[in-house]
Amino acid sequence: MSRKLKKNRQILLFFLTPAVFIILYGVFFYTPPLLDTGTHDFIEQTIDFVAFSWHMGKASIQRAFLKRNNTEQVFALAAWHRPRFLPKILHVDSFNLFDVAGAFLKHSKNRLAVKIYGRLVEEGKLNLDQLLETEAFFFDAEDWISLRANSEHILKLQPEDFFSQYYLGLSQMNLNELDEAEKTFQNLLAEKPDFADVSYRLGLIYLKKKQVEEARQMLEQAIQIMPLHFDAHDRSK
C-alpha cells in the first residue's frame, strides 16, 4: 500500500469515526430537546445543530427556488430540534406539548406526534378528554405500549368505559400478554355478548394459545353474530 493511499485512509477514518459515533448515539441514546427534561450534552447539541441546519436549509431552498408548497413539513422537522422556533413555524406554544403533537399531526409527522403523546401519557399529564382523543390515535399508529398505558389511565377515571376496555384488550393481545387479554375480552363478552369483534378477538387469542376448539367456538360465534365478518371467516378455515 502506497504512503499516499495510507494517509488518505487515515484522513477518511479521522472524519468518519466521529460521524459514525454521532449517528449511533442519535439512534440509541439521543432524546430530542422537546422531550428532554435535562441539559443536552455536547453530542446532543451537535445533533440538534446539524439536524436543524439541514432541515431549515432544505425547506428554505425548496420554498425560494423550487416553489414547493409542502415546505411546512420540513420546517416542522427543523422545529423538532429547536423548540424555540415552534411558535413561529407551527404557530403553537412550545410548552404545550399536547398542542405541539397536534401540530405535528397536521403536518403529517405522525412519528413525532407518537413520541410526544406517548411521553405525556407515561407522565400522566393528559386529562380525560385528551386521553380519549389520543386513544384512537395510538390504535391507528399500532403503538401498543402507549395504547395500553392510555387505556389504563382512562379506566382509572371511567372504569366502565367499554371501548377503553376493548383497546386495553387489543394492546394486551398484540403485546402477547395473552392471559390478561383473555380475561379482558371475557369480561367484555359478558357485558356485550352480541359484540362480534369481542368473540373474534377471543378466537385469535385462543389460536395463539393453541386452544383450537375454543378458538373455533369463538370464531363461529362471531360469524353467527355478524355473518359478513370476513376476518372471522378467514381465521375459521
Q: Tell me the per-residue pLDDT of 132-156, one tens digit each, with 9 for 90 and over.
A: 999 999 999 999 999 999 999 999 9
104-113: long-range contacts at Cβ-Cβ below 8 A with a sequence spacing of 24 or more? 104/76, 104/80, 105/137, 107/72, 107/73, 107/76, 108/73, 109/73, 109/76, 109/77, 109/80, 110/141, 112/76, 112/77, 112/80, 113/137
C-alpha cell at 178: 395473552
pLDDT band at 76 (very low <50, low <70, confident <90, very high): confident
Q: What is the model's pTM?
A: 0.79
pLDDT band at 29 (very low <50, low <70, confident <90, very high): low
Average pLDDT value for residue range 107-118:
88
Torsional sign, CA 166, 167, 169, 173: positive
98 vs 66: CA distance, rounded Å: 33
Percent of the chain with pLDDT over 70: 81
pLDDT at residue 62 above 90? no
Average pLDDT value for residue range 91-103:
85
Q: What number of other Cβ atoms are within 10 A of residue 9's Cβ?
A: 12
Average pLDDT value for residue range 19-23:
54
Nearest 5°: the CA angle 40, 44, 45 is 75
